Amino acid sequence: MSIPKNTILYIILIKIVYSFLAVFVFSQFSSLGDTDDYLNGHYLHRSDFSSTAYLMSVIGSSLGSLGSFLFSIILSIIGILYMLEKANLQHRTLPLVLLLIALPSFGVWTSIFSKEIFVLFSFCICVGGLIDQLNDKRKFFSIFQIFALLLLTFIKPHYSITIYFSILTILFYKIGIKSELSISLNIVVFCLVILISMHYIDSIFEYSQIMPKHFSSDGGTTRKNEFWHNEYDFFTFMPIGLPMAFSGPTLVEAINNVKLFPFFFEGTFLFILLVYYNLTSIIVRKKVNTLALSLFFSFTCMILITHYPFGLFNAGSAMRYRSGFILPMCVFLIYMKQYVTQGSAKN
């Protein structure tokens, strides 16, 4: 089923509207990150092709303000439409996806020239690749999807772990490895990650103390480091830290700063959505779907864990970095519910 024309028009219009809102409204009371620096070629002095900031400055300064924003809008639309075409979602879930596209933080940060544009584009294409795997269209990614995965690996390597891990999970499932073994492999990998992390606990603790210094102490959404003080705090605070880093502003922060209320509701809504679609995919007709459970570890948990240290100390950064992956993440979870429900009905 092709994407309805009115849906395509809606996506184009919402991206254009948010681009203008970001530049002429949002920028008046909040910084647009490194966008101005990229457009002004601020990082060209690095002359290092391995530096994402340098390459962003090359592209931004070459295209100029208008060219960069047009490029950002087009790139994000291509990624979104590609993913939706692959997902072929039921009509009743399409309004939810359109609502996600219209959410404030997603709308702003994916409508300007930023790294989040490239994360969104590459993540959308990669999710399309995961869907192709599930639909038996190919065992691995196409050339275009591999390019997107390499781009994601270059821009945000920690997010790309999610895709690599999920590719293996689906591959195990498709080549006939029993679901119980697939879950066991996921658990083994997680245990290995924990053991390796424990081995490097000193380095992780040192990193955890450096991380808060990257945020301005007088920033409106910066949090004091009341979370990581001892060696194992990075791990022990995870049950609270993961939802905090994902959702953005807390209720207390929103009460103290009323401008954050829309973003508090947005983050709460997204977290509830995350929980709902994972649960309803894992438990279908009172039975546990082991593929969905395996992907819960390799996809959802992996995204939350890799996002955790970057979103915990600043609610604004949590929303900004989240905007690059939140739409493809939600579309994949919605698709998974559709996939496992239809499979259960056939059985």
DSSP string spanning 43-58? TGGG--TT-HHHHHHH
Would you say 98 and 89 are in contact if contact means Cβ atoms under 8 Å apart?
A: no
pLDDT confidence of residue 3: 86
Q: Tell whether the model's pLDDT for residue 1 goes beyond 50.
A: yes
Closest CA to 273 of 243, 305, 315, 317: 243
- Integer-rounded Cα Rg, in Å, for the chain is 20
**pTM score:** 0.89
Coil, strand or helix at 314: strand
Neighbours of 196 (CB within 10 A): 9
Confidence of residue 195 (pLDDT cuts 50, 70, 90): confident
Mean pLDDT within 241-252:
90
Share the mean pLDDT of the chain: 84
Query: CA dist 184 to 173, 197, 298, 318, Å?
Result: 12, 20, 12, 31
Would you say 331 and 87 are in contact if contact means Cβ atoms under 8 Å apart?
A: yes
Would you say 114 and 34 are in contact if contact means Cβ atoms under 8 Å apart?
A: yes
Amino acid identity, residue 29?
F
pLDDT confidence of residue 198: 65
pLDDT > 70 fraction of the chain, expressed in percent and rounded? 85
Confidence of residue 232 (pLDDT cuts 50, 70, 90): confident
Confidence of residue 66 (pLDDT cuts 50, 70, 90): confident
Q: Tell whether the model's pLDDT for residue 319 goes beyond 70.
A: yes
pLDDT confidence of residue 206: 63
Which of 55-59, 180-184, 231-235 is most confident? 55-59
Neighbours of 215 (CB within 10 A): 17
Q: Tell whether the model's pLDDT for residue 347 goes beyond 50.
A: no
CA 189, CA 182: separation in Å to the nearest integer? 11
Which of 85-94, 128-137, 327-336 is most confident? 327-336
pLDDT > 90 fraction of the chain, expressed in percent and rounded? 40
Domain residue limits, the chain: 5-346
CA 70, CA 226: separation in Å to the nearest integer? 41
pLDDT confidence of residue 137: 76
Is the backbone of residue 112 left (phi > 0), alpha (psi -120 to 50) or beta? beta
CA 270, CA 276: separation in Å to the nearest integer? 10
CA 75, CA 323: separation in Å to the nearest integer? 15
Would you say 78 and 118 are in contact if contact means Cβ atoms under 8 Å apart?
A: no
Task: Name residue, tokens 């190919």.
Answer: 138
Mean pLDDT within 117-145:
92
pLDDT confidence of residue 315: 84
CA 83, CA 77: separation in Å to the nearest integer? 10
pLDDT confidence of residue 221: 62
CA diameter of the chain: 61
**What stretches of the chain adopt beta strand conformation (E)?**
283-284, 287-288
CA 125, CA 114: separation in Å to the nearest integer? 18
For 156-284, where are the alpha helices, taking DSSP H only? 157-174, 179-199, 201-210, 233-236, 238-247, 251-256, 261-282
First vs last C-alpha separation in the chain: 24
Amino acid identity, residue 316?
G
Q: Tell whether the model's pLDDT for residue 290 goes beyond 80.
A: yes
CA 109, CA 124: separation in Å to the nearest integer? 16
